[in-house]
């Protein structure tokens, strides 16, 4: 039976994912195999084995290879995010989820068989090589600054450059590498590890939920068969756009789930903890923070489903996903901050996931475009739309 515009199919999958994350995954949140650079490979594989046994491995992709709608995917991925380990266990975490979506949309049958199928089965992780070191003037929020180059040599492309903040590169079996030819941006699928793709270091960062952490990479004369380019030379940015909006939105979905759980923990604490003769929740300063959390969580949920509906019409949804990314990331930052504040000293410890969720959501305000870049992009659209209206 449909509920909230979500078909029974999507709701059934979402319910199974939630039960799995709450009952099976959450107990692993104190597992010592969680490191500052993300869950270890051993923990990652163990969680995926549990997901496979529970029938919730890559739950947003059906057995016939078709995807759930974006609205259904929202229902599923929000539930997966109820633990920071949930998206990893269910294999719907970034960057794998976005990379699977991209390959499913534009990959050739041969590339899908070679790379996509093992990813869907949870046998392979991937990394997306886009961002470059700022000190070298490379691509970041402005992808047109790309310094990594590629040139044809016989039936291969040769790639050279440096990349940074590459999530999950350490341990990945597939790299999707962006480079620049004489025609423009290009996108390649690369088998990893490869001696020509060298991890200089894995950076120490605020967040710690993604396996492999975030690496600085040197690419030195990497040879890639021409058959492993997505599309044609110069079409890389067009393919990146296919991935862009859905990947922004799935970030919002997962971190909404995490903040829902953090708010549950803070609410439980505020109702049990006594201070000055009554539970914390009865003190207006605390109760009002939890009320504000409910408002922000609901607004974030509505923005996510609104943008999902836009994407389900088949449009790119670039502006809509920018609005959702800004609204949701800023709202969830407020929620996570209030959860820490409500719990006081307990909120800054690792005794619960509240402290981790606060760190992760702070980083999320930068992932897939900082708030300010999205606002700048929206302001440019406002000006373009105004000019068109004047000419009409």
Class of domain 126-234: mainly beta
Residue range(s) occupied by CATH 1.20.140.10 in the chain: 237-391
Rounded to whole angstroms, how far apart are CA atoms 319 and 308?
13
Please check the confidence at residue 138 and state whether its pLDDT lies above 70: yes
Q: Token match 């030819």: residue?
A: 181
Nearest residue to 334 via CA among 366, 369, 300? 300
Task: Return the DSSP state at 206.
Answer: S
The two three-digit tokens of residue 196, written as one number: 């020509």
- Percent of the chain clearing pLDDT 90 (strictly above): 95
What CATH number should be reported for the domain whose range is 237-391? 1.20.140.10
Buried b (16+ CB within 10 A) or exposed e, 273-309: eeeeeeebbeeeebeebbeebeebbeebbebbbebbb
Please answer whether residues 256 and 304 qualify as being in contact, where contact means their C-beta atoms are separated by less than 8 angstroms: yes
Half-sphere exposure of 264 (CA within 13 A, CB side): 11
Buried b (16+ CB within 10 A) or exposed e, 324-335: bbbbbbebbbbb
Strands (DSSP E) contained in the chain are 34-35, 38-39, 126-129, 149-153, 156-167, 174-181, 184-191, 197-202, 214-225, 274-275, 278-279
Residue range(s) occupied by CATH 2.40.110.10 in the chain: 126-234
pLDDT average, residue stretch 124-146: 95
- What pLDDT sits at residue 1? 56
Task: Please list, in sequence order, all residues whose beta carbon lies within 8 angstroms of the beta carbon of residue 329, skipping any fewer than 6 positions away.
Answer: 252, 255, 361, 364, 365, 371
* Sign of the C-alpha dihedral computed for residues 107, 109, 113 and 118 taken in this order: positive
With a threshold of 0.85, does the pTM exceed it? yes
Mean pLDDT of the chain: 96
Nearest residue to 338 via CA among 296, 379, 301, 310? 296
Residue 382 or 62, more confident: 382
- What pLDDT sits at residue 5? 83
- What pLDDT sits at residue 369? 92
- Percent of the chain clearing pLDDT 70 (strictly above): 99
Q: Which tens digits make up the pLDDT trace of 356-366? A: 999 999 999 99
Compute the CA torsion angle 321, 323, 327, 329 (nearest 10 deg).
40
Element (H, E) at 386: helix 371-391
Half-sphere exposure of 49 (CA within 13 A, CB side): 6
Q: Which tens digits make up the pLDDT trace of 201-249? A: 999 999 999 999 999 999 999 999 999 999 999 999 999 999 999 999 9
Q: Which tens digits make up the pLDDT trace of 6-57? A: 989 999 999 999 999 999 999 999 999 998 899 999 999 999 999 999 999 9
pLDDT average, residue stretch 271-286: 98
Nearest residue to 48 via CA among 104, 114, 112, 121? 121
Q: Which tens digits make up the pLDDT trace of 166-191? A: 999 999 999 999 999 999 999 999 99
Query: Exposed (0-12), middle (13-18) or buried (19+): which is 204, by Cβ within 10 Å?
Result: exposed
Query: Exposed (0-12), middle (13-18) or buried (19+): which is 103, by Cβ within 10 Å?
Result: buried
pLDDT average, residue stretch 96-117: 94
The two three-digit tokens of residue 45, written as one number: 């594989």
pLDDT band at 271 (very low <50, low <70, confident <90, very high): very high
- What pLDDT sits at residue 2? 63
pLDDT band at 65 (very low <50, low <70, confident <90, very high): confident
């Amino acid at each position: 039976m449909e509920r909230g515009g979500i078909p029974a199919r999507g709701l059934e999958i979402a319910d199974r994912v939630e039960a799995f994350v709450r009952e099976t995954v959450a107990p692993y949140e104190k597992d010592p195999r969680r490191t500052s650079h993300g869950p270890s490979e051993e923990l990652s594989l163990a969680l995926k084995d549990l997901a496979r046994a529970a029938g919730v491995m890559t739950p947003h992709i059906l057995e016939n290879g078709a995807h759930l709608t974006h609205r259904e995917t929202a229902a599923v991925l929000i539930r997966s995010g109820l633990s920071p380990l949930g998206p990893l266990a269910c294999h719907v975490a970034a960057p794998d989820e976005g990379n699977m979506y991209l390959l499913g949309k534009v990959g050739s049958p041969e590339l899908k068989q070679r790379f996509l199928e093992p990813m869907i089965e949870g046998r392979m992780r991937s990394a997306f090589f886009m961002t470059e070191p700022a000190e070298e003037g490379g691509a970041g929020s402005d992808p047109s600054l790309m310094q990594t180059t590629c040139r044809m040599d016989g039936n291969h492309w040769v790639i050279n450059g440096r990349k940074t903040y590459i999530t999950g590169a350490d341990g990945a079996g597939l790299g999707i590498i962006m480079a620049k030819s004489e025609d423009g941006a290009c996108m390649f699928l690369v088998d990893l590890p490869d001696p020509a793709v060298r991890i200089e270091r894995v950076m120490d960062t605020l967040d710690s939920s993604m396996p492999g952490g975030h690496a600085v990479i040197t690419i030195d004369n990497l040879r890639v068969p021409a058959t492993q380019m997505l599309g044609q030379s110069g079409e890389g940015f067009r393919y990146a756009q296919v991935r862009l909006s859905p990947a922004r939105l799935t970030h919002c979905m997962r971190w909404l789930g995490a903040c829902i759980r953090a708010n549950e923990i803070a609410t439980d604490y505020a109702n049990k903890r006594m201070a000055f003769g009554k539970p914390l929740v009865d003190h207006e300063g605390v109760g009002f923070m939890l009320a504000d959390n409910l408002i922000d969580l609901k607004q974030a949920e509505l923005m996510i489903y609104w943008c999902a509906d836009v994407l389900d019409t088949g449009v790119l949804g670039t502006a809509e996903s920018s609005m959702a990314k800004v609204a949701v990331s800023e709202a969830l930052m407020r929620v996570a901050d209030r959860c820490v504040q409500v719990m006081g000293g307990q909120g800054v410890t690792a005794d619960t996931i509240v402290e981790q969720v606060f760190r992760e959501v702070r980083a999320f305000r930068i992932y897939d475009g900082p708030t300010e870049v999205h606002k700048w992009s929206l302001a440019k659209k406002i000006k373009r739309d105004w000019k068109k209206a004047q000419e009409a």
